[in-house]
Structure 1
Amino acid sequence: MSGFQQLYYTSCEHGLSGSSGFQFNAVSAQVSAETRHRVEGLAGYEPPRSLLESDAPELLARCPVNLCHTRDRQGGATTLCVRYVGRDSARRFGNYFAHALHSEGPPVEGAYARDGGGPLAIELWDSPVWTTQVAATTEIPELPAPLPRGPLSPRSAHAFLRAHPHAEQLPALLAAVFAALAEDGSVVVIDETTDRVAHWFAAVSYLLPPPLARTLTFATYLLRPTRSRLHLIGTVPEAHTGFGPDDEESYTVFDFRAGRFPDVVPTHHLIRLLTRIGVGSIRSLWSWTAEYTHGQERALGDWHAPVAAAAAAGGIELTDADVRAVIGWLPGAAHLGPRRAAVAAAIHHRHRDLDDDQLAALSAAAAAGGDAALHQELEGKLHQSRIRAYVTGVENAPGPVPLTHPAERQRATALWQRLLGEAATSRQRVRLLLWAVGARLTPPPELLTNMSLDLARALLGASDASRGLRAEVTQLVHTLPEFRAALATAVQEVLDERGGQEQLFAQFPAELLSERDLGRRTRLLEHYWVAQAEREPARTVDLLFQILEVRGEAAPDVELLRGLWRGPSPAWTHEEATEIARRLPSDQPVGGAVDEWFDRAVKQEVRGKDDLRACLILCETLSAPARFAWLRVVTQDCVQVTLQLDAALREATEATALARVFRISQIEAWAAPRALRRHRLVPAMLTLPADPARLRTEISAFDFSLADSYLRAVQRAAVTSSHVDEVLFSHVTGVIAINDARAALPQAHLEIVQTLRLHIAQHWPSELLDRLSRALRPYDTRLADAYQEYAEHRLGRMKKWGRKLSQRRSSDGPRPEEG
């Protein structure tokens, strides 16, 4: 910018209009019509009513002065100083003189840069550049830059604020101006004089970031503020404020004379930082801030971090909010270059209570800025913070990450060793070991072994381990061989020192050990296998023979069996007993314990068909001569009877004879024979022909359960079968022929027989009824005659139905396909 164009506007006799009145008295040669039009619109002035007829110099000096500053769309700036001059050449009151300066192009930037710059527009307040004297000619020269400043400065603004009774409103005023700049609003400032208004404007302008300060538009005095949309509008108590309901959103009013201010003005942390630094010191801050900005800052949030970073570099205390803003800004502040590390150092050295995320951000900034020493220092602090949080169980504390750099791993190991003495609980020591594993630290082997052994001893004595501790110890056992070996050693010590600890492997954390961990310690292995049997019952038989192999024994004793099969009435299942029988050496005696357990296995309750099948396999296995010799006599009898009944079920040729086989006294004594009768006898009988002569009389020898099952099975087959074969016919004949008088059946069974007789009579075809009649005649002639009548009646009905069908076909005529 080469200079400032000048314009004089007032009521005069000589000017650009060629006549007297309000007009441009004189302008610079390059002033455009557009600039004249803008200045003419801004130059209007209305004095307060009390000063309208001011004429004397001392009265005119009391009139408000309007220093007005605006910008056009191209970035050009227009600044006016409008003063009331009382009378015009015609001696009429209401004249004013507007001296305007206009500069083309974008605003001057870097006003507070080290190489200097032009004044802010507000610094032209009461500047010697302004005049109220009419020019003798219509053309006046441009003024060179920079323009002379007036009395306003950061120091004078600071002194003004210190003396003002409402200086505490500065943060709210600054926040309102920021909002006006962002949202194109207006802030109205009312004070006793326009000089005081100008001081408020100066304080705000100094505290605004310089690029924003140069976009600020203002007028230090307007009698009617609502007619303007400048950012800052000043006035005096006599002004016609007249703000209506529609103006509340557009105008924010600070009445410093009456002490009336907005109820709530949101105050950003940047504003608090700027006002805390103060107007008197702000010039230095903005010169520092220029080194931290990238030129694209617009909103409050954009400026907060670079301003706070500059403040930190200058030794100014930051709040937590300022620190958060700087740390959050650093990852994207690549434009800082090496200065990024300096910012990280300033924050780190003055703020020691940062959290891990903040330390990580500073560490990354130090690395990006090339400060290796700071990066290492921060990484060490971050590692220490993380490990403390992890060890002490802080919620959501991050776990260890592998350290690949040897120097980092060495430093972390040294820190880890220092923290050993701080671990107050077993869980903290477990977490320390987990951290060592996860971070791939390299503590001295002897230290790691001793720590693992001490921890294992402590854990074996703990009876109230929490779920979290259990999970972490499980992880430690699976990831740290030294701890796994220490745990096995601790278990061995307990077993050697105290008897009666056989169930130690069923307790935490000894249960986490595996066979591989116990090596050749046979005593430990036996206790371990006994505990494993309780956790994995399906492996119990295998574990039994592993123990026998380690012991060098052929058969187990009672204590071993009771240790492996626990419970109020310990016993083998049929499958377990079968497997044990097959795996025991058949050429050697097995001792009294085994015969007792086989006896219980053979005689135990049979709960279903699958159980029965397993029981029969067991009996078959034990029937081999060598194994049979192991059994007690009563067990041998049970095995023999069970196998005999099973063979009868497979070999019998007549149903009634098969039922007779099951009429033995041992049926009620032993579970297996009872199960054979309950699950297999009736199905087997129905596959064999029945002798009606025997069945009709011997059914009374059946017990109630067998008779009930059999009669219902015959009835169900007769009702549901689509084909009556010879076997079913024989059973139906025998049941129907039951001698009611001699059989002496219960009433429920007699009802089944009666129901079956009636169903046969009503549903069987005539030929089957005729055959049934002949089969019954040797036993019951009356019943045979009855079924013969049913057969003849049904046959007669069939013939009669056939004749009717033939007559119907004849009367209907030939069918189409027959014609």
Structure 2
Amino acid sequence: MVFRQLYYTSCEVGLSGYPGFQFNATSPGIAPELLRRVESFTAYDPPSSLPYNADAAAIAACPVNLCFSPAEDGTVLANVVFVGADYSNRFGNYFAHALVTEDTAADLGEALPIELWGAPVWTSTPVTTSVDLPVLSGQPPRGQLDRRRVAAFLQAHGGRAMLPALLSAAARVVTGERQTIVLVEQDSEAAASWIGAVSYLLPPSLAQRMSFATYHHRPAYSDLNLVATVPDADVDRSDGAFASFLLFDLPAARSSEVPVEPWADLLVETGVEHAGALWAAAAELGGGIPNRSAQWHPLLAAALFWPGERPAGTGPTVVAAAATAARWLSRQAAALDPRTVERIGVGALQALAEGRPAGMGAALTALTTAAEVSGAERLAVAVEMLAVDLEVEALLARQPADGTWNVPLQSAAGRAHARDRCTQALYGAPDDVATALLHLAAREELDLAAHLLRACGERLIGPAVLAGRSTANAELMRAWAPLRAGVVRHLAAVATDEPDRLVAAIADGLVEPLSDDETQDVPALHEARLIARSRRDPRLRVDTLAEIARLRTAAPGPGDGPAVRADLLRRIWPGGAWTPAEALGVLQRFDDAELTAPAPLAWLNAVFTLERPDTAGGADLSDLGDLGDLGDLGDLEELCHAVEQAPIAARLSQPARATITRMATIGRRLAAATAPDKQAAVLTSDLDRLPETQRRHNLGKLTELLNGAAARELPAIFESCPPDAVEHYLVSVHAYLGRERARADIAGRLFYVLVVLRRRRAHNARAVVAIIERHLLDELTRWHSQDLQAVQAQIRKIDSAVAAEFADWRDLNAAGWLRRMRTRRRLENEARAPRQAVERKKKKAERKKKAEQKRTKNR
């Protein structure tokens, strides 16, 4: 351990051999380049406020510059003080005492350069007898700064909040960013304390590389890492100066915008007294300190909860460090022994439990991973218990769940703790909270008490199941048989008191369907389930009615009347009526005694009178405008034939019997008609006097007849129909006569009918022609040419002559101007051709007569 010394001041005796500023004395063997560097490095200007006639006290109060500049060719540590006048009484002299070493770490030992502030090794008196200075051996004694004094300084200083930013900036500058930090303080002693704070908080290896000066009159011209100055020095403290260097102006309480690193916050929170131990622990944990500052925080966070020095309390910084330590631990657990993982993990877990940060679940997941990888069982159990406590507390407080975590309960102790916490919380919890607690218990498959589950099912989940669909409730019903039994008990009570409500709920789709085993012993619930099934699939309604009637007959209740009553029919058919097909099904499944009960008989009457059962009585079929959901009158025809000869017919109402007679008669007449035009005549006879529904039914059958008949049969069918029937048919196919949905086959058949009927003289034929022309011809003029060609092709299959007529009509009405003109001329010429032929024949006869007369005269 050797330090070579240098004195620099304005003196009479020195290395230059003449009076003035020079090296007064040096240790032997210092290279000239190093001398020039020290001379430049230690230059000193007093503050601008110091007068030339300053007294000794003012001179002694001038800032002291303890400066440090590490370099490979020699590290310089110097103490520069202002001494006032020199040997010639010229004002402005200063004295620099510099120490030079080639091995800073070895020569300073554990001391940091800033700790030589105020050290007894420094002198400010030049030598007059010799220019050679002895080499200092051994570690120089430390000065006035240590961790305790710096901590006390920071505690009392109002600018302590700037320290994290200053520390972050120092790390960036020392590790390569070419931008000086300028620190403004009231005096150099305070500046030295700030530099001491930064040095104590940085990793020791980095602190020994940080160049600094506790005072510089023009700090913007310095290339050191951290340069301090005083307010009245030559330093630009305006807003523009912040662009050229990082400024921390402590008297003005402002600084450059510097992103604060999380490790800096953590170290400041830990404090300078404990930072050294924290760095030592981090180095031991990580096998050294990483070079990049971005990697420091996870390592420091883990060290904080190992043998590290934890600050008092659990502030936000420590809590954030706990989450960071958890993530670091999950990545490093495989390389660490279980005891280390346990110590760090449990410590971090304690901080998390006290701080409860947002997103804490991710940290718990990380700790779980670390415990699994390393086999740290105590940590695993502690994490599970805390995770349960957090989730239960969040549910009780109605806070949203943290979806970032996944802490499965794998230990017996963790599961027992979860069961006890859920059980305790369930008693007296509001419905929404209790439901959430059950979901938690179901997710973890906890074995809750059967009586508690039954009560929750009956009081809580049963009403929730009725209120609406929820896959979560279905999961609860599948999770525990006792809870499901409680739900069924609640539904059974509702089935008795509010059957319609239960039917509607089951029909809407209970998320967890009930089974026969669960409902068979509760008739009201079983009926509700069967009715709801028929609501979802109306094809099952008749079977459902038959099944319920069978069950009621097999096990009648006290005071029960007929098995089929009006309330049962209304539940199965909420629309209030049977369709004819359904009535036919009922007729086939029930005997006369069952059908003549008041409710079935009223519903059967309503089918024939096309009414709702509660309005049935004497209204005629014509009183109803639309059949609606009562079904197709084709089914009604079949029903009429089935009932006509059955005993039940005698019990039906007079309007119902009239309907049966009318429809059976029409059916027989239709069956007797052989030709299509005869069938059309049956369907359209007395059309105006038929009830509206019967009329629409017949017209529907007419449409089927027209669509299915051969093309050459169509003219006779159309001619046999009244105009309103023809109108109805053309309205029904109108969509296919438009340009967008053009049907060439329909248009071709209608045009063929139009041409044929134009040739007939009958009044009805002329009326039908007018209707077809109105619906067809205007539409055809708007068709695409390729569609019109398809129409001509369809007509050609029926009659080639009519196809030719269509071609002429198309060319006259739907073609371009030139074709229309040519076609018109051709048709006019064809129309004139017979008359012209007669005239030519007449003229020829006259010429022949005249020639004959001339020959006779010439004789």
Contact 2:64 2:79 (C-alpha < 8 Å) held by counterparts: yes
Q: Could you say which residue in structure 2 is the equivalent of 1:123?
A: 115
- 1:569-580 correspondence runs (5 A): 570-580=576-586
Q: What secondary structure, in the 3-state scheme, does the structure 2 residue paired with 1:352 have?
A: helix
How many residue pairs end up in the alignment? Answer: 741
Q: 3-state DSSP class of the match of 2:79?
A: strand
Specify which of 212, 221, 228 is matched with residue 227 of structure 1: 221
Do structure 1's residue 514 and structure 2's residue 520 form an aligned pair? no
Would the alpha carbon gap of residues 662 and 21 (structure 1) be closer, same or farther in structure 2, given more than 3 Å must change?
closer
User: What residue in structure 2 maps to residue 4 of structure 1?
Assistant: 3
Q: Deviations over 1:94-136 (max 9, x none)?
A: 5544332223357569x9xxxxx43221222232323443486
Counterpart residue number, 2:615: none
Partner residue of 1:78? 76
User: Per-residue deviation at 1:694?
Assistant: 13
Corresponding residue for 1:319? 315
- Please state whether the residue corresponding to 1:423 is helix, strand or coil: coil
Which runs of no fewer than 5 residues in structure 2 stay unpaired?
Answer: 556-561, 611-620, 738-743, 779-791, 803-826, 839-859
2:438 to 416, 433, 458: 433
Give the stretch that moved more between structures: 84-93 or 325-334.
Answer: 84-93
How far apart, CA to CA, are the structure 2 residues paired with 1:722 and 1:589?
53
Q: C-alpha deviations, 1:608-654, integer Å up to 9, x for none?
A: 99999953245336635897444357656644643553565565356
Amino acid at match of 2:254: P
Change (3 A) 1:481 1:401: farther
Identify if the C-alpha distance between structure 1 residues 731 and 95 changes in structure 2 by more than 3 Å, giving closer, same or farther: closer
Q: 1:319 offset after TM fit, Å?
A: 0.7
User: Is the 2:442–2:479 Cα contact (8 Å) retained in structure 1?
Assistant: yes
Q: Is the 8 A contact 1:331 1:364 kept in 2?
A: no
Partner of 1:329: 325
For 2:527, give the aligned amino acid: E
2:139 is aligned to 146
CA contact (8 A) 1:530 1:563 kept: no
Partner Cα separation in structure 2 for residue 433 and residue 665 of structure 1:
71
Which letter maps to 1:133?
P
Distance of 2:585 and 2:319 partners within structure 1: 74
Do structure 1's residue 797 and structure 2's residue 789 form an aligned pair?
no
For 2:617, the equivalent position in structure 1 comes to: none
Residue 216 (str. 1) matches residue 210 (str. 2): yes
Please state whether the residue corresponding to 1:557 is helix, strand or coil: coil
> Counterparts in 2 of 1:175-574, with a 5 A limit?
175-176=165-166, 178-183=168-173, 184-189=178-183, 194-236=188-230, 239-241=233-235, 246-251=240-245, 259-262=251-254, 294-296=288-290, 299=293, 302-303=296-297, 305=301, 309=305, 313-314=309-310, 316-333=312-329, 334=332, 338-349=339-350, 352-354=354-356, 356-357=360-361, 358-361=363-366, 371-390=376-395, 393-397=398-402, 403-425=409-431, 427-443=432-448, 447-448=449-450, 450-459=451-460, 472-492=472-492, 501=499, 504-507=502-505, 513-516=513-516, 517-551=518-552, 557-559=564-566, 562-567=569-574, 570-574=576-580
Q: Which residue of 1 aligns with 2:39?
A: 40
**1:28–1:424 distance in 2 versus 1, CA, 3 Å:** same
TM (norm. structure 2) is 0.69
Distance 2:718 2:146 in 1: 130
Q: Residues 622 and 136 (structure 1 numbering): CA distance in 2 closer, same or farther, change over 3 Å?
A: farther
Provide the residue aligned with 1:642 in structure 2.
663
For 1:325 and 1:513, the matched residues in 2 are separated by 50
1:607 and 1:392, CA in 2 relative to 1: closer, same or farther beyond 3 A? farther
Query: How much does 1:421 deviate?
Result: 1.9
State the distance in 1 between where 2:229 and 2:87 align. 28
TM-score, normalised via structure 1 length: 0.72
Deviation of the 1:42 alpha carbon: 0.7
Q: Which residue of 2 aligns with 1:787?
A: none
* CA shift digits 1:239-284 (9 cap, x unpaired): 333556653334566677xx43426776777666666666667666
In the TM superposition, what whole-angstrom CA distance separates every residue of 1:434-483 from its partner, at most 9, and x where no partner exists? 3333212223xxx32x2343234435995997658x55434423443333
Look up the match of 1:705. Answer: 724
CA contact (8 A) 1:9 1:25 kept: yes
Identity of aligned residues (%): 26
Match of 1:69? Answer: 68
Separation in structure 2 between the aligned mates of residue 209 and residue 42 of structure 1, nearest angstrom? 25
The one-letter amino acid paired with 2:216 is L
- 1:392–1:653 distance in 2 versus 1, CA, 3 Å: same
The verdict on how the C-alpha distance between 1:481 and 1:392 changes in structure 2, with shifts beyond 3 A counting, is farther
How much does 1:532 deviate?
A: 3.4
Paired residue type of 1:797: R
Write the letter of the residue equivalent to 1:65. Answer: V
CA contact (8 A) 1:366 1:375 kept: yes
1:553 Cα offset (Å): 7.8
Deviation at 1:69, TM superposition (A): 0.8
Q: Give the structure with the higher percent helix.
A: 2
Secondary structure of the structure 1 residue equivalent to 2:144: coil
Task: Indicate the SS of the match to 2:385.
Answer: helix
Could you say what secondary structure the match of 2:254 adopts?
Answer: coil
Measure, in 2, the Cα distance between the counterparts of 1:192 and 1:681.
Answer: 110
Structure 1 counterpart of 2:41, which letter?
A: L
Residue in structure 1 matching 2:162, options 172, 190, 194: 172
CA deviation string 1:268-311 (max 9, x = no partner): 77666666666667666666666566502654893573675479
| Distance in structure 2 (CA, Å) of the matches to 1:65 and 1:5 | 21
